[in-house]
Amino acid sequence: MKQRFVLFFVVPAFLIVLNINAQQANWTHFRGSNLNGISEATNPPVTWGISNNIKWRTDLTGKGWSSPVVLGDQIWLTTATEDGKNMKVVCLDFKTGRIIHDILLFSPDSLESKHSINTYATPTPCIEDGFVYIHFGTYGTACLKTADGKLAWKRTDLNCKHVQGPGSSPVLYKNLLILHLEGTDVQYLVALDKRTGRTVWRIERPTKVYDPLTPIGKKAYITPLIVTVKGRDMLISNGSGICQAFDPKTGQEIWRIVQGIDSTIAMPIEENGLVYFFPGFVDSPDGEKYTELIAVNPDGKGDIARTNVLWRLKTPVLQLLTPVIKNGLIYTVDTQNNLLCIEAKSGSVLYSQRMKAKHYSSPVGAAGRIYFTSAKGETTIIREGRKLVIEAVNQLPGEVFATPAILRNAILLRTDKSLYCIGK
């Protein structure tokens, strides 16, 4: 009888562990299932090349900078023709790279121009059990059933003038799909019922802040972050003129910090209850243009710029990638190609290393290492810590703008032509 009693508790505990491991083995959003760029993989590859540690490679048609998302045996990513006339989503088998679905979703009647380094398929999808959510900015948003690729719903009426192309990725929160559409004409956040696509709430950026800005200065390309502060969930969203925290259930503003006159791209990041973000860049009285990395205690209400800002670090304008924060250290590459390690508690730069090429792909952390991939397909792997230790430098052909996914001791790395699965 005692043995049965023990077994009764051991089996459910074993199932809980399996469930946790299954959750960790997926990569469901831009920068992972927790939106933080940190992988749970314990032994991902450190060295590779075109003929070394490549499990498979699948060539992709069209062009897109969206990152792969993974659930179970499915990988989903978007692509578009270079002229933007056809916008598609592709599903691949995780084990083999075989294409399962190649689905045309949108063929817009008219298109805006885009920046030369952007694509019409830059926002990363997000995925959950049974459904994948696809976003092409103003051109359309759709939900597909992962079992068969069939359409659950789609919308084309959530519009703005991106001017330089779309970039913000969607985020799931409970029953909501949260989107950012911030152009030169309108700037708003919208939450949709994820099962029907119906609008649940919509919040405009404050006109008092945005009216003085030039139209080109109002646009933004950020993906928001959801954090929990003293048991309360907050949606942190750093637009070009203001960083705001919202209640993600209702869209009600909690706090704000007003700063910036142009474009934000990098996501906010969080660790140990503190939030770090890049506001839009500013013009100083002497004509210098710069932005800042700002550390904030998010436990506040109203305008918290004077009360809750812990430190500011001046940086070059237009921070293009989102840093990784791990164990009190922030790792990033700025727009002047400097790899930086910053102490999170003080804002002090611990080291700086000049890199050879531009970086648009956000870094990813795994197994005590940080992976940085340049636009020229070169991945530099450093060891976590207060001193720079480079463990490996690996090269693949092609351009890389998409952020890699690291899971199941493998790396999914998208170039301009192909998706690679790197692993042993």
Of 307, 281, 308, the closest CA to residue 295 belongs to 308
Tell me whether residue 377 is exposed, middle or buried, using C-beta atoms within 10 angstroms of its C-beta: 0 to 12, 13 to 18, 19 or more. buried
User: Is the predicted pLDDT of residue 11 greater than 70, yes or no?
Assistant: no
Compute the chain's Rg from CA coordinates.
21
Residue with tokens 């003129």: 241
Which pair of tokens denotes residue 214? 């030039």
Instruction: Tell me the per-residue pLDDT of 280-311, one tens digit each, with 9 for 90 and over.
Output: 998 888 888 999 999 999 999 999 999 999 99
Which pair of tokens denotes residue 143? 């939900």
Instruction: Tell me the per-residue pLDDT of 83-112, one tens digit each, with 9 for 90 and over.
Output: 999 999 999 999 999 999 999 999 999 998
Is the distance from CB of 399 to CB of 415 less than 8 angstroms? yes
Angstrom distance (rounded) from CA 115 to CA 119: 8
What order of strands is seen across the sheet that includes strand 126-128? 126-128, 131-135, 141-145, 151-155
Is the distance from CB of 62 to CB of 88 less than 8 angstroms? yes
Instruction: Tell me the per-residue pLDDT of 341-390, one tens digit each, with 9 for 90 and over.
Output: 999 999 999 999 999 999 999 999 999 999 999 999 999 999 999 999 99
* From the candidate CATH numbers 2.40.128.630, 3.20.20.70, 3.20.20.140, 2.70.70.10, the one assigned to the domain spanning 1-60+323-358+360-424: 2.40.128.630
Instruction: Tell me the per-residue pLDDT of 151-207, one tens digit each, with 9 for 90 and over.
Output: 999 999 999 999 999 999 999 999 999 999 999 999 999 999 999 999 999 999 999
Per-domain residue ranges of the chain: 1-60+323-358+360-424
